[in-house]
A and B are shown apart, each in its own frame.
Chain A
Amino acid sequence: MSKCICDFRLIQSYALPSGNRIMQFIPEGDCPECFPGQFIEVKIDHAPTALLRRPISVCHYSVRDGLTLLVKPQGPATSLFTELPLGSVVNMMLPLGHGFNTDIKPGEKVLLAGGGVGIAPLVMLCDCLAEKGATVHIALGGRSANDINGIPQLFPKAERVFASTNDGSAGTEGVVTDIPIFERLADYERVYCCGPTPMMKAVARIARASEVWCEVSLENHMACGLGACLCCVENINEAEGNVCVCTEGPVFNINRLTSWQ
């Protein structure tokens, strides 16, 4: 699959209660297909101090609807990006990285666990797995109800959506792994997870203990996104050592990620 640099036009943009933003783009020219778990590198113009592109997960991609991103205004550059007016044209490099393994059999029961802006790649993954005949459950983790509100609507093909919040204002009080489904995780054939590292480590630990197949999507700090700068490495296991998250990942099966014990 060939990577390309392509201009996109912003056609829709709205804020979720969490303050994160859903932004929908259509390509200005030919654009290669993106798969769940892959990411793009966007160039944010006019951010006074930003030099590098910003890696952002593909939230959704289809030929009909174009490219959707879920973006957290984290620093000056991403804040400027989320405030772009409709019609703005931005330059992106895509598709990057290895996404989730979606090679499943119809009827499989899968759990998608996400926290914060980490739910982004799970949106497209949910559609993809449901279309392949999986029964998809979603587990969302947030600090409060504001982090959860508006999110279940992004998963129209999910059979169930569970939630947890640190303050108990929505769903189970606690963290995502406090949701009772994690007590019987072996009910699921697969678990996919993207969120803050402590959350992914907790999910991976339970999946390992329950002997459930599990993939996690890492979000290491990146520069190039192409495997050239070696800035985003993760020490994944003793044999392979440091590997580039941008090209070997960002999605890793926990069987390969044995450094996460």
Chain B
Amino acid sequence: MAINLSVDLGAGLVLKNPVLTASGTFGYGHEFSDFIDLDKLGGFIVKGTTLEPRQGNPSPRMAETPMGMINAVGLQNKGVAYFVDHIYPTLTRFDSEVIVNVSGAKLSDYVAVAEALAPLDKIHAIEVNISCPNVKAGGMAFGTTAAGAAEVTSAVRKAWNKHLMVKLSPNVTDITEIATAAEASGADSVSLINTLLAMDIDVERRRPRLSTITGGLSGPAVRPVAVRMVWQVAKRVKIPVVGLGGICSADDALQFIMAGATAVQVGTANFIDPTVTIRIIDGITDYCHRHNISDINSLRGII
């Protein structure tokens, strides 16, 4: 039986299958090319890109916690000009979709990055990160109020006429309000969840494990929270929802799809098994065979 895994996120973003990689967990793709054929992915979302180069936070930046990890990388990247000149040319040969995660400290930064990426033919979508918990200004500050989310989304919308995905923070009272605001301001899709604000203390040394004290929790530990939020948001908005948070297997990915996600992103699991994305795609195909499902889209939002 031929199975359709292709999903349409709207505004020109069609994926050959629903599996994307999450920003900040997959570098620029080439880091994984020894292990997998990148063209088998629905697409990959490259590292958060800012207007100016950023050194990120001091070490230590990572603490492993039960079934999860807390990171405080702080958007280390070489800036959008470097991306356009040096990294983008290495990405044009891929058949998979390449999505750029856009971050900023202030509104004009987001707009400037979107403008710099707009002429790049291969980039059909950007994911606007209004949810990074690890930077002092911008980031999550925009993503924790409906007004902030609307402000960034509207501003970027004017500078970007291709697919606009907005990545939401779970560190809010009601994520559906933020999703609704992004939708009303022109987002073509929303992705959720970014990491949960978290903290870990080394009691022997009596100090926090991260240089920034707090960081973002990811990995299987957050998955049930993420599934719940995707389910809530998918019930409220009409635009497609992209689900992420602790996905390690096809079953995990299918939970998000059944909760209402059109596509999923795989993040932390890439660190443990660089081939996990391919296992998930194959596992979804197997599931469809076992359950006599001819189109992955028929499973979406059945809960």
> Quick one: which of B243-281 are within 8 Å of A by CB?
268, 270-275
Give the contacting residue for B31; candidates A227, A232, A234; CB below 8 A. Answer: A227
> Which B residues have a C-beta under 8 Å from some C-beta of A?
24-27, 31-32, 34-35, 47, 55-56, 58-62, 64-69, 71, 73, 76, 219-220, 268, 270-275
Distance of A2 Cα from B36 Cα, bound (Å): 12
Contact in complex: A51, B56 (CB < 8 Å):
no
9 contacts across the A-B interface (CB closer than 8 A): A3-B35, A43-B272, A51-B67, A52-B64, A222-B62, A224-B274, A226-B274, A234-B59, A235-B58
Docked CA distance A228–B62 (Å): 13
Q: Which one of B56, B61, B67 has the highest number of Cβ atoms from chain A below 10 Å of its Cβ?
A: B61
- Nearest 5 Cβ contacts at the A-B interface: A231-B62, A228-B27, A224-B271, A49-B66, A3-B34
Chain A contact patch, size range: 20 to 34
- A49-B65, A228-B32, A235-B59 known; 17 other A-B pairs, CB under 8 Å? A3-B35, A5-B273, A43-B273, A51-B69, A51-B272, A52-B272, A221-B62, A222-B62, A227-B27, A229-B24, A230-B47, A230-B56, A230-B73, A231-B62, A232-B61, A234-B59, A247-B31
Question: Of B58, B59, B71, which contacts A229 at CB under 8 A?
Answer: B71
Complexed CA–CA distance, A93 and B271 (Å): 11
Given A49-B67, A52-B272, residue A2 in contact with residue B34 (CB < 8 A)? yes
> What residues on B are CB-neighbors of A2 within 8 Å?
34
Q: Which residues of B contact A220 (CB under 8 A)?
A: 59
On whether the beta carbons of B59 and A228 are closer than 8 Å, the reply is no
Hey, which chain B residues are within 8 Å of A229, CB to CB? 24-25, 62, 71, 73, 271
Q: Is the CB of B73 within 8 A of A224?
A: no
Are A242 and B56 neighbours in the complex by a CB distance under 8 Å? yes
Interfacial chain B residues near A247, Cβ < 8 Å: 31
Residues of chain A contacted by B58 (CB below 8 angstroms): 235
In the bound assembly, the distance between CA atoms of A45 and B56 in angstroms comes to: 32
What residues on A are CB-neighbors of B272 within 8 Å?
43, 51-53
Contact A242 B55 (CB under 8 A): yes
Chain B residues positioned under 8 Å from A43 (CB to CB): 272-273
For B55, the chain A residues whose CB sits under 8 A away are 235, 241-242
With a cutoff of 8 Å between Cβ atoms, the chain A residues found around residue B67 in the complex are 49, 51
Question: Which chain B residue shows the least CB distance to A241?
Answer: B55
